[in-house]
Amino acid sequence: MCTFTSMNVHTPLMVLVAGPYRSGTGDDPAKLAANVRVMNEAALALYRAGHLPVTGEALALPLIELAGSKAIGDSVFNEIFHPIARRLIPHCDAVLRVGGPSAGADEMVSMARAHGKAVYFGLDELPPAQGEAPPPPKPRDPGGFRVPSEGPSRNDAVRITDVRVLSSNWYVLRKVTFDYRRADGTWSQQHREAYDRGNGATVLLHDASRGTVLLTRQFRLPAYVNGHPDGMLIEAPAGLLDGEHPDAAIRREVEEETGVRIGEVRPVFDLFMSPGSVTERLHFFAAPYTRDTRAAQGGGVASEGEDIQVLELPFSEALRKIDSGEIIDAKTILLLQWAERHGLLERTPQGGAR
């Protein structure tokens, strides 16, 4: 964390100051100096208000250019200051946008919003570092939304120009504005909303010796309000990564939900489950279990409101439940059909509910 806490004093913010340096100046020395003065005064005001300002460009670039040339200054900005600012933003608490037009400063604002950081356009908007009211809470960062940086994976036909957080009450809903180059070469501005709930993992627990699979049954509100009779869905164990490696996260989820402690897991595939609006990438696994690997009761985490039933079914019965519509959860159907296609289990009549 880039914040500091002391007794009876509200947490100061680490604030990156973003504003124009050369933009709109025509390299006129007086205009350059005016831009530098705006950023330096903003940094000083932040410091006096008890916050921690972050400015490198406004202080160092003029000195570098006086000692060398504007070409050297450009090189330092492009190769040092700009990349450092990109890396700093995820660790800062906020961005303060000052001064006039600047593509670079606007990019810092978009990056800050993409990372769920606060953006302020005036010193009077910042919360006090001391006083009765604490700073506004920052949106959580589930980890499923990143603006691509320069590199081989970047799509040159997409230019993200603005990201705004619409809601962060549970997970994070963002409105993204971007320019898109169409197949005919023309550019169009588009707007999309992306819901970031983080990435997740799911696993098919199977006992090949008995021909059974271990599933769960729990209430799902979104299914209930969209026509499911009771909202109770049969599913493979699954959960969000919460910063863990996928195979570590799924081991934790399996023990919480089913009480089974599993060892090695087999990666199956990674899929985007609803790429039109949700950023989540789901990691699919398969793992063996036996009657002896149950280490706890399972049932989920009570403090999180979970009330999960554990179902052990013959593999053949689980497949029939897909045909009958009793299993309608996409990740579970994908895992069961993958197991059938790869001959992971035989259709034996053993097993039952527990």
Q: What is the pLDDT of residues 123-162, one digit of tens each?
A: 777 777 654 444 445 556 777 887 776 666 688 999 999 9
Distance (Å, rounded) from C-alpha 341 to C-alpha 315? Answer: 13
Distance (Å, rounded) from C-alpha 319 to C-alpha 338? Answer: 11
Q: Enter the DSSP assignment of 226.
A: T
Extract the tokens encoding 256. 């919480």
257 labelled ligand-binding: yes
306 labelled ligand-binding: yes
Distance (Å, rounded) from C-alpha 290 to C-alpha 288? Answer: 7
Domains of the chain with CATH codes = 14-138 (3.40.50.10400), 153-197 (no CATH), 200-341 (3.90.79.10)
Q: Enter the DSSP assignment of 9.
A: B
If phi > 0 it is left, if psi is from -120 to 50 it is alpha, else beta; for residue 185 that is left
Q: Which pTM does this prediction carry?
A: 0.60
Higher pLDDT, 71 or 308: 308
253 labelled ligand-binding: yes
pLDDT tens, position by position, 25-36: 676 777 777 777
Question: Which amino acid would we find at residue 256?
Answer: E
The 3 state secondary structure assigned to 267-297 is: EEEEEECCCCCECCEEEEEEEECCHHHECCC
Question: Which amino acid would we find at residue 291?
Answer: R
Q: Does the pLDDT of residue 71 top 70, yes or no? A: no
Q: Does the pLDDT of residue 5 top 70, yes or no? A: no
Q: Of 1, 100, 92, whose CA–CA distance to 46 is shortest? A: 92
The predicted structure's pLDDT at residue 60: 53
Strand order in the sheet with 14-18: 52-54, 14-18, 94-97, 118-120
- Tell me if 44 sits within 8 A of 130, measured CB to CB: no
Distance (Å, rounded) from C-alpha 8 to C-alpha 295? Answer: 45
Specify the range with the lowest mean pLDDT, choosing from 112-116, 152-156, 171-175.
Answer: 152-156
Higher pLDDT, 143 or 204: 204
- Give 49's pLDDT tier (boundaries 50, 70, 90): confident
244 labelled ligand-binding: no
In sequence order, which ranges of 289-328 are alpha helices (DSSP H)?
A: 315-324
- Tell me if 145 sits within 8 A of 112, measured CB to CB: no
